[in-house]
Amino acid sequence: MEIFGKTLSKKGVDKPEMEMVENEKQEYKLVGQYLRTKGLKMFSYNSLKGEMKEILIKDKKEVTLVIGVEGKLTSDDLGYEECDVDSRNIHFEALNLKNAKKRVQKYKDGKIKELCNLRLPSKDGLKLW
């Protein structure tokens, strides 16, 4: 069996080594892709500890050039945003820290059902009519 470039045999594997490999597998799990709203910041809320923090978002400036029908180069993907998140926390967007605290309080009081307000990307795209 090969995991993360290490070849392991079933006979020579200790239980601590297998647990370490399983933990490494979970660390590299892809959480997902979401659509963001311009101007809002991203926050993370840990319901077990009751702590909230702002998440740093990194801009990735990459351009993919594609040869069009007439042989002209056109840009396909102009860039994207990326952030590191903890999958155990709840992630949401708010304008600032004050509004994020208000949103968490509404969630705790039961005024809103779900704290996460991120939108999933649609395959059909944005429809205006």
pLDDT digits (tens, 9 = 90+) for 46-58: 999 999 999 999 8
Give the number of C-alpha atoms closer than 13 A to the C-alpha of residue 10, restricted to the C-beta side: 0
Residue 44 has pLDDT above 50, yes or no: yes
Phi, psi of 107 (to 5 degrees): -65, -45
Asked whether the whole model's pTM tops 0.85, one would answer: no
Provide the mean pLDDT of the chain.
79
d(CA 74, CA 77): 10
In the chain, which residue ranges form alpha helices assigned H by DSSP?
15-27, 97-109
Distances (CA, A) of 15 to 5, 22, 26, 30, 46: 19, 11, 17, 26, 30
Nearest to 118 by CA among 47, 27, 57, 49: 57
- DSSP class of residue 59 equals E
Q: Domain segments of the chain: what residues?
A: 1-30, 32-120
Helix, strand, coil shares, percent, the chain, to 5: 20, 30, 50
Buried-exposed string 31-61: b where 16+ CB fall within 10 A, e elsewhere:
eeeeeeeeebbbbbbeeeeeebeeeeeeeee
Percent of the chain topping pLDDT 90 = 35
pLDDT, greater one: 3 or 33 = 33
d(CA 104, CA 50): 10
